[in-house]
Amino acid sequence: MQRRAATGLRLAGYALNLHQLRFVQEAARRNLNLTETARALHTSQPGVSKAIRELEQELGVDLFVRHGKRLTRITEPGRQMLASVETILREVANLQRIGDEYAGRDTGTLSIATTHTQARYFLPGPVAELRRRYPQVQVVLHQGVPEQVASMLKSEVADIGLATEALAAHEDLVTLPCYEWQHVLVVPRTHTLARENRPTLEQLAAETLVLYHPTVTGRTRIDQAFARARLAPRVALEAIDSDVIKTYVRLGLGVGIVAEQAMREEAEAAGGSDLASVPLGHLFGSNVTRVAFKRGVYLRHFVLAFAELLAPRLNATLLARALRSDAASAVRAAGVDGAGGARADNDYQL
């Protein structure tokens, strides 16, 4: 910095560098623990500490409040600056993505974050088709509960997310409807309910049920429906995935309720299956599975192509329109007009 001052350079405040910003971002994400931050970024802890202090000096304000030698919280300017930092680093990542897009035409990695049901029943077709069209693209599947899907999108671990819940609640994600489904009852083919067209909640409550675990998409709607009818069904077992539920239904533990996608295999099985399914949309309503992206990230063409495979309506033009706006200024604006007021539309209807 000595020399620059001497030669009179220092292009309008660019003693700033991207490493400093990366450190600040990571520190914010990791509860202001610089040791952990340094480990995560494969660098030395003193380096992180120094870089942040220099950045603060450069900007003229502290980003973090320090209690002695410990960082305790983010200052108000720090909070506002973090929004800019997120934008900067996101756009830097976009530069790389655009570079990759034009450099190695059809090579790269498609990283998908999704829930079990989607991964098991919905995605196999689209993924296979993508692999056929873009043999050079490596597909990585990250499985988790909807909140994890959201957070993988936010940290740019995943390019595209697919889930039925939680996604629309995030400011910095853009979500679009993908397909609609309902729950179905799963019973052994010989069960009396197998011939029932529109079973009632009372009929179901008379059985022992095999349900999804409460963390799984749609379980809450089932609970609510029973609660509204003042029914308290017996639950034999709660499972994370549909295959487990089906297995226990086969064993006679009770009747199951799963997403309809999970029964499509049985429905299409040549010669029929040992399990029958009965739609339950009239009891539990219908669900919409949504595709989500992080707002502002550049989508390579194979990501767009994949979205279109998920739902033909999700073409490049529509996505471009949906992804247009930016959340960084919204976050800053929230401070100006009193916290809650600024809420950008992040759910696009078709």
Partner DNA sequence: TATCCTTACGGAATTCGTAAGCATG
Partner DNA sequence: CATGCTTACGAATTCCGTAAGGATA
310: enclosing H helix or E strand: helix 301-310
Q: From its phi and psi, is residue 12 left (phi > 0), alpha (psi between -120 and 50) or beta?
A: left
Residues that contact DNA, how many (by CB under 7 A): 29
Closest CA to 89 of 44, 32, 156: 156
Q: Is 120 in the site for a copy of itself (CB under 8 A)?
A: no
Q: Of the two residues 69 and 132, which places its CB atom closer to DNA in the complex?
A: 69
Q: Which does 230 bind (CB under 5 to 8 A by kind): a copy of itself, DNA, none?
A: none
**Site residues (CB under 8 A) for a copy of itself, limited to 64-93:** 75-77, 80-81, 84-85, 87-88, 91-93
| Cα pseudo-dihedral 17, 19, 25, 31, rounded to 10 | -130
**Site residues (CB under 8 A) for a copy of itself, limited to 188-247:** none
Q: Is 101 in the site for a copy of itself (CB under 8 A)?
A: yes
Among 18, 46, 128, 252, binds DNA (CB under 7 A): 46
Dist CA 144 CA 318 (whole Å): 27
Farthest-apart Cα atoms in the chain, separation = 89
Q: Of the two residues 75 and 151, which places its CB atom closer to a copy of itself in the complex?
A: 75
Dist CA 184 CA 285 (whole Å): 11
43: enclosing H helix or E strand: none
Q: Of the two residues 9 and 98, which places its CB atom closer to DNA in the complex?
A: 9
**Site residues (CB under 8 A) for a copy of itself, limited to 32-61:** 41-43, 58-61
DSSP-based three-state secondary structure for 181: strand
DSSP-based three-state secondary structure for 348: coil
Q: Give the phi and the psi of residue 187 in degrees, each rounded to 5.
A: -140, 155
Give me the residues that bind a copy of itself (CB under 8 A), please. Answer: 8-9, 11, 13-14, 16-19, 22, 41-43, 58-61, 75-77, 80-81, 84-85, 87-88, 91-96, 98-104, 296, 298, 304, 316-317, 319-321, 323-326, 328-330, 332-333, 336-338, 341-342, 344
Give me the residues that bind DNA (CB under 7 A), please. Answer: 1-4, 6-7, 9, 17, 19, 32-35, 43-47, 49-53, 66-71
